[in-house]
Amino acid sequence: MADTFVSDFQVRSLAGEPPASVSVRNLQTSLYAASDAWGRKCVSFPQPCLISAEVHFKHPFGTAASNDQLGADTVHYGNLSKAILQRMKRFTVPRESSPPSQSQDQESSFTLAYVLHDLWVGLTGWAHFGSVKEEEKPFLDVGAIRFLSLTITLPKASLLGEGVSMTCSQFFKNGPGEKMRENLISASLKLHGLRVPTLVGVNPHERTAKQFVTTTVNVERYFRMDDYYPELEGRVVKALEESSFETLEALGAHLAEKILEPDHMKDHTKWQVHIRMEKPTAVPLADCPIVEVRAGYGFPAPGRPNAS
């Protein structure tokens, strides 16, 4: 799997520019699954959920374009939306209404990653890692698809940010079957727009008080199936609050080190971390300056000459 499990950037690059595509963005529902911003399992109370799907086809629209009729060369976005919501129904009811035989362990297994992978199976008929999962006819004809991406966003699952999301993407090089393992896949977990007061800056006045740094953290090559995002947010916030660097570059390197430390998770050697930091008050005539840092698998360790 190491040869086929890559970053989202690599999947999209190899899939190339599509001749045709259909997407649905931010389809809304409520989710009795995954964890909230405090790490509580949402099995008896809901949280808002947004779902986005992006389908790239191998060939241009034929019948749909020439005859103005839907055919096998496209996917109706209305039907795609209905298929997504139908699949998600199993997670949009309280777990209290589940059969008594269902154990607490089974209920707690309904994590964000579990929901996303279940949706993937419902649309493609295949598990995200390429093994047969279901015999029922899937909604999508994988043989006609070159690239597929699904994202589930939990806008209220962050205490200091704009939400949490997880994305799965796949480049279908060979289509379904035994060669499925040759298709490139990706999975990532993202913390959106954390606003944390941080002591950072080279100017004398910036050393006298903290200012907001808006930070987005995207962990790619993400293997975990548990709801790690409350812990990850806590680790990121703690690192920002306790730091006192002069440059965003050094702060980003420090933050990457904290995220990739091996003491709190087992998959750190396979992760790629993309950190984006904004200082809204730093440049008066611009929205903000932005610094981005990438670290982890495939990237050299970031240099950080002045540790806090």
Give ∠ CA 267-228-91 in degrees, rounded to 5: 120
Overall pTM surpassing 0.85 (yes/no): yes
CA distance 176 to 137: 13
CA distance 108 to 55: 31
pLDDT tens figures, 188-220: 999 999 999 999 999 999 899 999 999 999 999
Is the predicted pLDDT of residue 301 greater than 60, yes or no?
yes
CA proximity to 192, closest of 163, 167, 160, 213:
163
Classified as helix, coil or strand, 200 is coil
Mean pLDDT, the chain, whole residue set = 84
Residue 130 has phi, psi (to 5 degrees) of 100, 0
Classified as helix, coil or strand, 261 is coil
CB 145 within 8 A of CB 79: no
pLDDT tens figures, 142-188: 888 899 999 999 999 999 999 999 999 999 876 554 445 567 889 99
Give the model's pLDDT for residue 224. 87
Report all structural domains of the chain as residue ranges with CATH numbers, in order of start.
Answer: 8-296 (3.30.1130.10)
Is the predicted pLDDT of residue 19 greater than 60, yes or no?
yes
Is the predicted pLDDT of residue 137 greater than 50, yes or no?
yes
**Relative orientation angle of helices 229-242 and 248-260, to the nearest 10 degrees:** 140
Burial (CB < 10 A; 0-12, 13-18, 19+), residue 194, is buried
Give 89 or 143, the one with higher predicted confidence. Answer: 89
Average pLDDT (89-114) is: 70
Burial (CB < 10 A; 0-12, 13-18, 19+), residue 178, is exposed
CA distance 249 to 251: 5
